[in-house]
Amino acid sequence: MSVLSLNGKNFEEEVLKSTKPVLIDFWASWCGPCKMMSPVIDEIADDLKGEVKVCKINIDEEQSLAVKYNVMSIPTFIVFKNGKEAARSVGVQDKSEIVNMLKV
């Protein structure tokens, strides 16, 4: 599995300076919909390995990043391209919807 855990220390390097699109899953261990989406995110990471970075941020551990990016509900999925937010969706999504976000 090639999902990277993000935190305040590695966020800038892994996301803002990335030359590849980055999909971030904002989640929490107590969140049922987040648990439902976890295998889907893992699949996307495997399917698009080398093309995109797939990352997760635990909002309980990294509250400052959740606040900075206005994450009000989870799961929230944000795609970054060239260091800027390119797409966002909230809640349970089909795999195809998340993959399409990466094509924006």
Which residues are known catalytic residues? Answer: 31, 34
- In whole angstroms, what is the distance from residue 43 CA to residue 79 CA? 16
Q: The sheet that has 3-5: what strands, in order across it? A: 3-5, 53-58, 22-27, 76-81, 84-90
Phi, psi of 69 (to 5 degrees): -105, 20
